[in-house]
Structure 1
Amino acid sequence: MSGDTPNGAGRHYVLAAGGTGGHLIPAFALATELERRGHHVALITDERGAEIPGKPEFLPAHVIPAGRFGKNPLGWIKGVKALWEGRGMALRLFESFAPSAVVGFGGYPAMPAMLASTSAGIPTIVHEQNAVLGRVNRLMAGRVQAIATSYPDVERLKEQHLSKTHLVGNPVRPEVLALRKEDFPPLTEDGILRVLVTGGSQGARILSEVIPDGLAMLQPALRQRLQVTQQCRPEDLDRVRDRYRNHDIPAELGTYFEDMETRLADCHLFIGRAGASTIAELTAVGRPAILIPLPIATDDHQAANTREIVKAGGARMIRQPQSTIKMPEGDSDAANALRKRQSDTFQKLAKDISRQIMALAQKPQSLANAAHASWNCGRPDAAKDLADLVESFGGAEMMDVIRVGGNNARGASQGEAVGQGATRGMHK
């Protein structure tokens, strides 16, 4: 099914997502595709999600309470109360909006809506962006009609749920997806090597500490060709700028780049975290990467996210030691000793980064090959395939083209099932 002809045009769908970009970017992409097909879409999220940049103008956002359940059991009573209140609000929304299906994208703000939809008998689908099934999606996996995944192998996904699992990929922003048809930027033996460094919504402090020094360790012939663009925290800008100046490496720094897709299109090498949206965009465009997973990510899911692209040859993964997370304070002997240990750890990490850059970037063809491998890992039809899956629920039987069932479910126009790889096209 191409998605060009609406399957049950004019239906209503509700998307429920946590308030972070990782949850909301794919939700926005699906909303855009469903709206293009003539459907009406509403969003349930938290206060952060309602205000996040990039939300489509046509998409109304409903903020409902969602309980959080941390390690302290004393807070669970408050969490359960908020969760139950949010479930009631979602049920009232469903009565007036009458959704054909509800799609959850993970995060605690999505849970009240999915509890409401499953209790009301409304078809419910969850989409998992990471290579480890998230906590909320794990809790709901047994109650939903379908589980859409972004990777062929997903940890914490029970075997009894494989029959309703569909590999669709992780939808990305249309402006990023539009770059997929463009060639990898030309690069010669002595040409400018553009490096893009990001670390999340406001840049990662550890990357500000180690990337400038790692780049400075490169062989002079390679270091002299560098042009760096790096996202930093506001409090790190001056210090990082001084480091690049001292290393005589041209660098443009900022806390936020509105034209990130343009910078991604121009770069020859990406260095940063391994969040689901980051990897989805890298593989959509086809950019080689040095990936440094966040060591405190839940269930170490960022490291799991790197497996496919690293195995394909599109990226190198470097582990960040847990000990680099928090800098010590004070002037005691113990604090000074810890700072010395931190400094040694930073130096080792910088050397690892330098070594991996040399392995990838010493020859232009090596970078081009890695870019091609990254591109082959992309799933450009993720939004369309997820929309096909969503449209397969909630309509009259004769209108439903796709059914979840015993063949491990096509559920998507690409027809990939979890555990089965796909042959993809060639990078231009």
Structure 2
Amino acid sequence: MTAKNPRISNSRALTIVIKLGTSSICEEETHLPLLSNLSLLIETIVKLRKLGHRVVLVTSGAIGVGLRRLNMEKKPKKLSAIQAVAAVGQGRLMRMYDDLFSQLNQPIAQILLTRNDIADRTQYRNAVNTFSELLAIGVVPIVNENDTISVSEIRFGDNDTLSAIAAKMVNADYLFLMTDVDCLYTDNPRLNPDARPVEIVEDVGALREQVKITSPGSALGTGGMITKLTAADLATAAGVTTIICRGSTPQNILTIISHLSINPTITTSDDSSIPLHTRFLAKKNPLTDRKWWILHGLHTAGTLVIDEGAYKALTRPGQSSSLFAAGIVRVEGNFIADQAVKVVVDLKKRNLDSNNDGASGNDDLCAEVKEIGKGLVNYSSVEITRIKGHQSSEIAELLGYADSECVIHRDNFSIFVT
């Protein structure tokens, strides 16, 4: 019997989310399942479980498996046809997972989600409790977007985003995004020999300016490196360390966790025995569960544009503030009370290229719209349009009633983590 690695067995129990894309599940042309990849992944998950870790698997592949079952060469364009293919594939995908996991006596559970399932706070908490109970009894939850009923308004957009949301729901320590490359590079290494691997990332926003990714897959030949950066941004804001690594070698997860349990900042340049990967460090002050749910779990129904005075009040360090009608300059979209809206500020910047001497007004100023957060409104778009720019004491006179003195209460307002 092979001895356990003491560096792993002596580490604390972790909660780990692993996201596997379609390219790691199905062959692109024939849609045949990549059983070698899947077997290695399942062996890795079972080993993680035996070491005491809790594991959630977020999987794509329902449409790919469905295409194979229906002998279809290409994914149809009609939405209802795509959903029908997903309905055929989802059951077969889970059967494949169940057959493979059963060989190692590991029970699994299926969880299908859409944004509607987490938009309601009660449903969100119920989903969190289900995850918690499954993990507590030693089950591996297998999560996928419910493609059978999803439409554009309620889709997560991709399973990278779904995996970040799932990671927050289970309070994960690590999110592994498995792809067809070892890590993120500064440019396409297949075309640019000077491209360098990016090993540790502290600020995803700053990274976007340093690496050359102009469209999905343009830098690395993958179908979604941009979406992986978005997922990393969401997950790290929730306090989850996020790792991009190669999907065909899932056993590397064990080695990476083994080393990180000793030194969280170690890289391959420090120790060549560590598999190459990109690690996005978790934020030191992550958002609370409710604030993160508002920011990333809810559909955005509209936009409120605020002035610079309100912006300074809302973003003052060490203090939280409500948004009042007086600071709102414009309302965009149609929404009702208790829906989530985006809050942006219209900053005026001096146009350095302008030759205007200022005598004719603000022609030498240019606007810069900056998104600062998201919140649940106490009034509808129609009501806010009537009270914007006015003091709270005037709301009752303008509307005939005053349900709240503020438009968004500070407890229901979430500022982006910076």
Q: TM (normalized to structure 1)?
A: 0.29
Q: Bigger radius of gyration, 1 or 2?
A: 2
What TM-score do the two structures reach when normalised by structure 2?
0.30
Higher relative contact order (CA 8 A, sep 6+): 1
Give the structure with the larger strand fraction: 2
